[in-house]
Structure 1
Amino acid sequence: MRERPDGLSDDDVIRGLADGWNLRPRELEFLPVGAGGYHWAVDDEGGERWFATVDVRADLPTLRQALGTATALRKAGLTFVLAPVPDRDGDAARPLSAQHALSVYPLVPGTAGDFGPHAESERNDVLNLLIDLHRTDPPSIALRTDLRLPGREDLETALSALDAPWTGGPYGEPAREILSRHAARITTWLHEFDELAASVAPTTEWVVTHGEPHPGNVLRTPDGPLLIDWDTARVAPPERDLWMLTSAMIGAPPAPDDSLLKTYGHRTGRSVSRPAIAFYRRWWILADLAIYTAELRHPHTATPDRADSLRYLTACLQ
């Protein structure tokens, strides 16, 4: 997120840090990084450094449960989990306004990657983290996922409204033209999604998953890799994480995955479902399409973030 959040100032963040964590920042630096949240580096008067994240939230209890899952996993001994610091009330996130929620993390020196496939040299490291995660009993606070597509109703409504101009903002018409060219393919993908979902029936074999263990959420540190950004943590089929390590990952070259999946199966005692791998790849693409379509069909202005939305929408369909 390259732009600052609407309706929120640095002073609001400073007040939230003081009210929730008794922090007294002497320096606050906005970091135009990541996706889905807004971030600041915080130098506290006590000499400690923190990483503050603001989510534009739809559901604070859900965010608290997801981030609280990370805190519970860290307490259970998973030291690779970079978990938020609970606020004074013991919550993993705190409201700043009707739209914004704040969470605080230790500022750990390291380097994260970018969204895309993992390098071959790093894939086994991430596989080891996921094996340890999936072998851990899900914390009682953890949410259970479902197999529905978020934003599906809005996406289908948009597909049915391609004959009239989209006048909500400067990127509306380019988005409509792109979707018009690919509408039949998107409809086919939705049918395939439903068929794959039927094969991924809920079972008691679901595990606690991170949800997005791509390179952008792996922080490489001198002490080893950490998994960051746990707002997507859910109890789910293990393939929800594993597909990002396979050739099904967006941008990954075709390659055999047998060795990796056999290693996972041998160490966890769980077999990996190829249809579930395919399901989560399809889920990811369609969920992104739904997000970017909604952003560009509804009222918006010409900003770098909305320009990125148009670019990502196009990339989903290439």
Structure 2
Amino acid sequence: MRVVRERPEGLTDDDVVRGLADGWRLAVSELEFLPVGAGGYHWSATAGAERWFVTIDVRADLPTLRRALGTAAALRRAGLDFVLAPIPDRDGDAARPLSHQHALSVYPLVPGTAGDFGPHPAADRSAVLDLLIALHQTEPPPIAQPTDLRLPGRADLEAALNDLEGPWTSGPYAEPARQVLSRHAARITAWLQDFDNMAADVAPATDWVVTHGEPHPGNVLKTPTGLRLIDWDTTRLAPPERDLWMLTPAMIGAPPHPDDGLLAHYEHRTGRTVSRRTIAFYRLWWILADLAVYTTELRRPHTPGPDLANSLHYLTANLE
């Protein structure tokens, strides 16, 4: 999961203001960049007496992003009040192109505090589980798209594993990244084989539900009116374990206990049997997807900066 603290390249605040005016007819009087979150870039915008939370996705597949965020909007209309969904633009779309590589979306700015990536505090697990049960039991909106069981960025990761003779000279963090991958290449290759074996055992799509995709504490907003789930760009039809693994010890790399009361409660409430093997599959998916993202970034031409320094840190942390 890529941490974002720097501003996006090739985009100014004036570009964001123009996008908000064109897409949402917002006359922005104040715009503030927010160095928070992961994956996307965020601002707060003031227009008249209202404030908005603005997100930019970089190199997004716009049709896919629109379907994911449109699913969130449909879930909200269906009565899931904990879904913090985007505001449609003037054309009714949940996201709007701002440039050839930037997509813009707008949300209500809701007072509250999100957590940090990592395991859910024990005091919060039951409440978050209740949100996921409600989500998984909701009829999927027609716009919802199914996930696939392929690993994003796999080709780049495998290309890197086949190019470890070195040195890598594309930037200051490239060679340290190569050295980390070299030390753990055999383990990563074995993980990829395990990934393929477990993917073959995942339940068929006829048993899938609407999933958030990343319901970790960083995407749970504690508000005066209760918990809200944010960042719905990853929502897909998928096995329920795609969400549930983040509430289990798998979140910290330990196998789920066979008598885990939380999973038993989920099974009782939903009538679904939770697959511990699919829990492990999504834990491994997360690790490998992170490795692929960081490796791709660090092999590209780059200059020093805190975001890429973080990418090297997290690449290393996933392996060492």
In the alignment, which of 208, 211, 216 is matched to residue 209 of structure 1? 211
Select which of 41, 52, 75 maps to 1:38: 41
Number of the residue aligned with 2:31: 28
RMSD: 1.2
TM-aligned CA distance change 1:257 to 1:291, over 3 Å: farther
Corresponding position of 2:18 = 15
Question: Secondary structure of 2:250's match?
Answer: coil
Paired position in structure 2 for 1:151? 153
**Residue 6 of structure 2 is aligned with which of 3, 21, 25?**
3
- List aligned pairs for 1:1-318, cutoff 5 A: 1-45=4-48, 47-250=49-252, 258-318=260-320
1:247–1:257 CA contact under 8 A, matched in 2: no
Conserved 8 A contact 2:39-2:57: yes
Following superposition, the deviation at residue 269 of structure 1 comes to 0.9
How much has 1:297 moved relative to structure 2?
1.1
Deviations 1:15-54 (A, max 9, x none): 0111111111111000000011000011112x00100001
- SS of 1:309's equivalent in the other structure is helix
Residue identity matched to 2:37? G
* Residues 78-130 of structure 1 deviation map (CA, whole Å, 9 limit, x = unaligned): 00000000000000000100010110000000000010000000000100000
Structure 1: gaps of 5 or more residues: none
Is contact 1:246–1:257 with CA below 8 Å preserved after alignment?
Answer: no
Following superposition, the deviation at residue 205 of structure 1 comes to: 1.0
1:134-181 per-residue CA deviation (whole Å, 9 max, x = no partner) reads: 000111001100111111111011001001211110000000000000
Q: Name the count of aligned residue pairs.
A: 317
The farther-off stretch of 28-37 and 249-258 is 249-258
- With structure 1 as the length reference, what TM-score do the two structures score? 0.98
Q: Identity across aligned pairs (percent)?
A: 75
Aligned equivalents of 2:138, 2:255: Cα separation in 1 = 31
Instruction: Please give the alpha-carbon distance, in whole angstroms, between the structure 1 residues aligned to 2:7 and 2:92.
Output: 27
Give the counterpart letter for 2:84 in structure 1: L
1:158–1:293 contact (8 Å) kept in structure 2: yes
- Partner-residue secondary structure (3-state), 2:36: coil
Which of 187-196 and 70-79 deviates more? 187-196
Aligned partner of 1:199: which letter?
Answer: D
Q: Give, as a single letter, the amino acid of the residue that structure 1 aligns with 2:82.
A: F
SS at match of 1:29: strand
Q: Is the 8 A contact 2:255 2:280 kept in 1?
A: no
Q: Deviations over 1:211-256 (max 9, x none)?
A: 0000000000010000000000000000000000001013679766
Output the TM-score relative to the length of structure 2. 0.97
Q: 1:228 to 1:257 in 2, by over 3 A?
A: farther
C-alpha spacing 1:136/1:182, structure 2 compared with 1 (3 Å): same
Maintained 8 Å contact 2:205/2:238: no
